[in-house]
């Protein structure tokens, strides 16, 4: 059986993990294939060959570049080892409106720049899906067995069981540690305010962490998981064929024989790649463009759902000893969970991040330089950044419209527009979130800085999908069945977030991988 996967992000990794366990499948992954620049990768390798104490300061600084913040206080575009390669245009952004960075051309996709949060969806989150979490659980477990995993059983397990063995996290930063300690002492009061607290669940090799502080700009030792790790390992072992440097233009079926039309990313003649099954894993926008264009759905506004992201600084009355990265890991360290119903359907989650150098550049200029610099330092010693998400049914969402490319060999054009009338609901829910945080804050020792609480623009959460959502009774050409098939196709399967009926406020990369693993596991040999 020949299977072609289009794309090389988390969905592709999840599917490949399932397919290589079968003896009857040959897998080819077609990908744009952007990678870290050779000189930066060489610097990373040199750092990885020695402990942090022996690092050349100039080389450390070179891979620890922090992107400049946006003027609207939203999170800046991350850099990985000093590079923008996870976001850079390798040809995949052709035809995208404005400065949209919603389709990655890098091997591993946006998992090269993610925060590594790894949680399943709550059981109640599947109320609008054609299958349950119980049905997805074996695939969650299979993925977690194949990637690094750190976390522990705590109050979050009421909604989110670990679903696999997990290593303990590395030592936490001072503010994060104090939040968890205060929660242990005042659990009933905090829960009475409508907030649960627990440690982060992360895809990282925690036992090997040396707390060098570079998690957010790229771990030189490769301890933070990327889908590129899985695909490189499978390709290196000869278990999949990885073919970079190509862009998918069209997908279809003839006599139930699926195919993908591709060309080199630099341009050139078309090539038709046939298989027994084609799995589309180009990311929610990339897959939507490919499917809509292939079905000639030109000009149709396609609704997409998004778990909107918001940022809320959390100020502590007590300062850490110093605002610095070294001596701790800088990924998400604790989670604040705000359940708005008993079942765990209406949840808001906030990830607590410790100090990183991105906070320095977020300060006003006078607080970074000169006589007021000590005040800026004092503020940073008291701040934890809360990165939160609303569920998609409380979020604005957006429409995607696909129109033909400028030539037959060009990618289709994509425009994105905010769904009108939905932002008011999101802002009302944010006010409720701020109220809960304020009530719980006096027990936890951190308070939300409400004037600096901001909601992301459409697509900026990177947690979106649903353009061809799984349905029990899919409409031809508009929805997909439980195996990600959009009629009239029978052997083309959408396996990324484009098939998500809803997007929960909890982290969704693990669910993408597990669902892709489920679909790939169900493919029938032909």
The SS3 of residue 441 is helix
Once rounded to an integer, what is the mean pLDDT over residues 240-267? 95
Task: State how many domains the chain has.
Answer: 1
Backbone angles phi, psi at 445, to 5 degrees: 85, 15
Q: Which pairs count as long-range contacts for 484-488, CB under 8 Å and 24+ apart, including other chains?
A: 484/279, 484/280, 484/519, 486/291, 486/295, 488/253
Position 465 in a domain: yes
pLDDT in the model for residue 367: 42
Once rounded to an integer, what is the mean pLDDT over residues 44-68? 91
Once rounded to an integer, what is the mean pLDDT over residues 97-118? 86
Mark residue 405 as left, alpha or beta (left: phi above 0; alpha: psi -120 to 50; beta: remaining): beta
pLDDT in the model for residue 365: 53
| Pairwise pLDDT comparison (421 vs 222), residue with the higher score | 222
Residues linked to residue 401 through DSSP beta bridges, in sequence order: 415
Position 426 in a domain: yes
The pLDDT tens digits of the residues spanning 15-26 come to 999 999 998 899
Dihedral angle computed from the Cα positions of residues 220, 222, 225 and 228, in that order, rounded to the nearest 10 degrees = 100
**If you average pLDDT over every residue of the chain, what do you get?**
90
Least confident interval from 186-200, 296-310, 359-373, 485-499: 359-373
Distance CA 103, CA 287 (A): 9
* Beta-strand runs (E) in 168-270: 196-199, 241-243, 246-254, 257-264
Domain range for residue 259? 2-521
Residues linked to residue 302 through DSSP beta bridges, in sequence order: 400
pLDDT in the model for residue 381: 64
pLDDT in the model for residue 12: 98
Position 153 in a domain: yes
Distance CA 248, CA 264 (A): 9
Position 494 in a domain: yes
Q: Given a cut of 80, is residue 371 above it in pLDDT?
A: no
Position 407 in a domain: yes
DSSP alpha helix (H) spans, 206-283: 227-236
Q: Are 63 and 40 in contact (CB under 8 A)?
A: yes
Backbone angles phi, psi at 419, to 5 degrees: -65, 120
Position 526 in a domain: no
Q: Given a cut of 60, is residue 409 above it in pLDDT?
A: yes
Burial per residue of 108-122, b for 16 or more beta-carbon CB atoms within 10 angstroms, e otherwise:
bbbbbbbbbbbbbbb
| Closest residue by Cα to residue 507 from 393, 426, 387, 418 | 387
The pLDDT tens digits of the residues spanning 111-141 come to 999 999 999 999 999 999 999 999 999 999 9
| Closest residue by Cα to residue 121 from 315, 344, 320 | 344
pLDDT in the model for residue 77: 76
* Beta-strand runs (E) in 356-480: 383-389, 398-403, 413-418, 446-448, 454-455, 464-465
Q: Given a cut of 90, is residue 526 above it in pLDDT?
A: no
DSSP structure string for 135-176? HHHHHHHHHHHHS--B---SGGGGT----S--BPPPPPPHHH
pLDDT in the model for residue 98: 61
Residues 6+ apart with CB under 8 A from 105: 32, 33, 34, 88, 89, 90, 91, 92, 93, 265
Residues 6+ apart with CB under 8 A from 431: none
pLDDT in the model for residue 361: 53
| Pairwise pLDDT comparison (382 vs 504), residue with the higher score | 504
| Closest residue by Cα to residue 286 from 119, 100, 67 | 100
Above pLDDT 90, what percent of the chain?
73
What CATH number is attached to the domain comprising 356? 3.50.50.60
Distance CA 118, CA 97 (A): 31
Residue 469: CB atoms within 10 A of its CB come to: 24
Q: Given a cut of 60, is residue 435 above it in pLDDT?
A: yes
Sequence length of the chain is: 526
């Amino acid at each position: 059986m020949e299977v072609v996967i289009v794309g090389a992000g988390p969905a592709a990794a999840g599917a490949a993990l399932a397919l290589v366990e079968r003896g009857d499948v040959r897998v080819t992954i077609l990908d744009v294939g952007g990678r870290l620049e050779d000189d930066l990768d060489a610097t990373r390798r040199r750092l990885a060959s020695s402990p942090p104490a022996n690092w050349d300061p100039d080389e450390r600084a070179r891979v620890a570049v922090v992107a400049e913040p946006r003027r609207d206080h939203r999170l800046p575009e991350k850099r990985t080892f000093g590079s923008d390669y996870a976001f850079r245009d390798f040809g995949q952004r052709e035809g995208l409106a404005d400065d949209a960075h919603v389709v990655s051309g890098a091997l591993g996709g946006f998992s090269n720049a993610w925060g590594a949060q790894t949680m399943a969806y709550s059981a109640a989150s599947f109320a609008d899906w054609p299958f349950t979490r119980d049905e997805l659980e074996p695939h969650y477990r299979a993925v977690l067995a194949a990637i690094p995993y750190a976390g522990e059983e705590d109050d979050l397990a009421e909604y989110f069981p670990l679903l696999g063995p997990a290593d303990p996290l590395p030592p936490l930063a001072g503010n994060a540690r104090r939040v968890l300690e205060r929660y242990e002492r005042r659990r009933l009061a905090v829960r009475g305010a409508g907030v649960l607290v627990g440690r982060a669940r992360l895809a990282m090799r925690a036992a090997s962490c040396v707390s060098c502080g570079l998690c957010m700009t790229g771990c030189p030792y490769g301890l933070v998981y990327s889908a590129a790790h899985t695909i490189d390992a499978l390709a290196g072992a000869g278990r999949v064929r990885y073919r970079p440097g190509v862009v998918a233009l069209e997908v279809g079926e003839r006599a139930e024989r699926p195919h993908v039309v591709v060309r080199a990313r630099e341009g050139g003649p078309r090539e038709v790649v046939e298989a027994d099954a084609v799995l589309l894993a180009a990311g929610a926008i990339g897959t939507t463009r490919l499917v809509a264009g292939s079905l000639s759905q030109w000009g149709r506004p396609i609704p997409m759902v998004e778990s909107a992201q918001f940022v809320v600084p959390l100020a502590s009355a007590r300062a850490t000893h110093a605002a610095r990265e070294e001596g701790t890991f800088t990924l998400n360290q604790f989670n604040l969970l705000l359940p708005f119903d008993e079942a765990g359907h209406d949840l808001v989650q906030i990830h607590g991040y410790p100090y990183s150098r991105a906070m320095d550049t977020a300060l006003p200029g006078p607080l970074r330089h000169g006589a007021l610099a000590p005040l800026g330092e004092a503020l940073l010693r008291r701040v934890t950044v809360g990165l939160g998400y609303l569920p998609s049914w409380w979020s604005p969402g957006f429409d995607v419209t696909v129109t033909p490319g400028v030539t037959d060999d060009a990618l289709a054009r994509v425009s994105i527009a905010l769904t009108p009338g939905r932002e008011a609901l999101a802002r009302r829910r944010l006010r409720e979130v701020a109220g809960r945080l304020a009530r719980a804050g006096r027990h936890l020792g951190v308070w939300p800085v409400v004037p600096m609480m901001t909601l992301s623009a459409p697509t900026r959460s990177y947690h979106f999908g649903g353009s061809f959502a799984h349905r029990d009774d899919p409409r031809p050409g508009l929805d997909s069945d439980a195996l990600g098939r959009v009629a009239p196709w029978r052997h083309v399967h959408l396996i990324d977030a484009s098939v998500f009926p809803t997007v929960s406020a909890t982290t969704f990369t693990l669910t993408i991988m597990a669902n892709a693993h489920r679909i790939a596991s169900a493919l029938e040999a032909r």
